[in-house]
Amino acid sequence: MPSDPTTLGELKRSGYAPRSVRTELRENLIARMRAHQPLFEGIHGYEHTVIPALERAILSGHSINLLGLRGQAKTRMARSLVGLLDEKVPVVAGSEINDDPLVPISRYARDLIASRGDDTPISWLLREQRYTEKLATPDVTVADLIGDSDPIKAANLKLDYSDERVIHFGLVPRSHRGIFVINELPDLQPRIQVALFNILQEGDVQVRGFKLRLPLDIQFIFTANPEDYTNRGAIITPLKDRIQSQVLTHYPGSLDLGRRITEQEARSPAEQRGRIIVPDLMGELIERIAEEARSSEFVDQRSGVSARLTIGALESLRSAVERRALRSGEARAIARIADLQAVVPAIVGKIELVYEGEQEGPEKIAHHLIAMAVRNAFAAHYPDPGKLKRRKAINDSYAAIAAHFEGHSLDLLDEANEKEHAQALGSVPGLFDLVDRTDPGSSQEDRVLRAEFILHGLAEHSRIGRSGLVGATQFTDLFRSMFSEDDGDEADAADGSLDS
């Protein structure tokens, strides 16, 4: 296989023809679409919404703003677009701004080619080196993005400050012939956003008072939260007008899709995955916590609830189950409903509360979201216990279990091993019979989890009582639990409300 050209003469003889970044992205996307290859790997739920809009923007050669709440894969998609660039492109060796040897734009490249002609040295830039990303923060300056005069360079080269060769180029010129991403664009100060006008409209920059025009070739990608999310700033109207395509992102449209994303993104050690079982029901409950948060009156909906909540919750759940297995000496363990209390730390840092939520406190809200997830999941899987009780239905399948707790209680110990946990649940008459009638053919592991789920579901629908003890969960008579000093948030959450 012939080696890459190393001089301008060799490059000319190779038949190389320059093309713009946007043409490159467009033509490579067309080739990928004709080959029926996906635009992104590992991005789910956007197949009929976000991805078609992105493809249209690329085919149109537009600059793009990805607008959506946090945790909607905006940055990940921007980074993935690098895959549409050519594997490598030639540049004038030593150029700060990746000059194309056949279309040089910098003083350095033009002078070098003028003096050395076809002997001008050529280097090659890989696609990964053509991606630049900048987080917009209030301290970003025009010099950071565009450039400024460099007194050290002027002294070393013995040049006057009026000579353009003393310019130190910022991130944008250094991204020439590549993709430049600005994350959280509204956080960029308005006067800095103004500096981007010419780049987006005319494709050039001006540095200080230097009379130079750099026709930069850059694919701009911006990411932003909706403007009303934060008071820190907004995209100024003239800049918004110059961004040619705005693509709206969104959260997963179903629980199954959310679970697929969470499972894919959760980073748990392989050893842990091998010894821990997280049944489908537990995965559903994790997703329902996020779903409840996204509709809760206590959570600021303008900020959104990131997919990182469910990812962190699943990782915490697995670790809680592993901890129990290690302490009990078991080789493997199964996630339980009570283990959901271990995901509270993964919730409290990932939700922004409105005033009423702040008054309640983040931990209480986290427990409330877990309780509502269990309550609504139970209603989706089993007949509504409240309705059956109110109607005094003859076929009330929960009556015998509720009657048992009028004179008995059950303590489920947090660190009980799998056998002890199953035996404790088996002490409730009719509990496993109900599981077998409603979920015939379930494995033994699933039977045990469903039995525990039924108890928690009945507690959430106020058919039995539940109290949180140190190292255990106690199920008892509803009225007895109401007077327990330890029932706390769980009793409050049984009817979906919180104390004011």
Q: What are the tens digits of pLDDT across the range 38-78?
A: 999 889 999 999 999 999 999 999 999 999 998 899 999 99
What is the predicted pLDDT for the residue at 395?
Answer: 75
Ranges of residues in the chain whose predicted pLDDT is under 70: 1-2, 154, 161-163, 208-212, 227-233, 390-394, 480-500
Residue whose token pair is 């496993």: 432
| Contact criterion met (CB below 8 Å) for 319 and 341 | no
Q: How many CA atoms lie within 13 A of 161 on its CB side?
A: 8
Give the predicted TM-score (pTM) of the model: 0.84
What is the predicted pLDDT for the residue at 485?
Answer: 46
The per-residue pLDDT for range 435-467, each reduced to its tens digit, is: 999 989 889 999 999 999 999 999 999 999 999
What is the predicted pLDDT for the residue at 161?
Answer: 61
- Domains for the chain: give ranges and CATH numbers: 8-248 (3.40.50.300), 255-493 (no CATH)
What is the predicted pLDDT for the residue at 393?
Answer: 59
| Contact criterion met (CB below 8 Å) for 186 and 230 | yes
Q: 200-238 as b/e, with b when 16 or more CB fall inside 10 Å?
A: beeeebebeeeeeebebbbbbbbbbbeeebeeebbbbee
Contacts of 359 (CB under 8 A, 6+ apart): none
What is the predicted pLDDT for the residue at 261?
Answer: 93
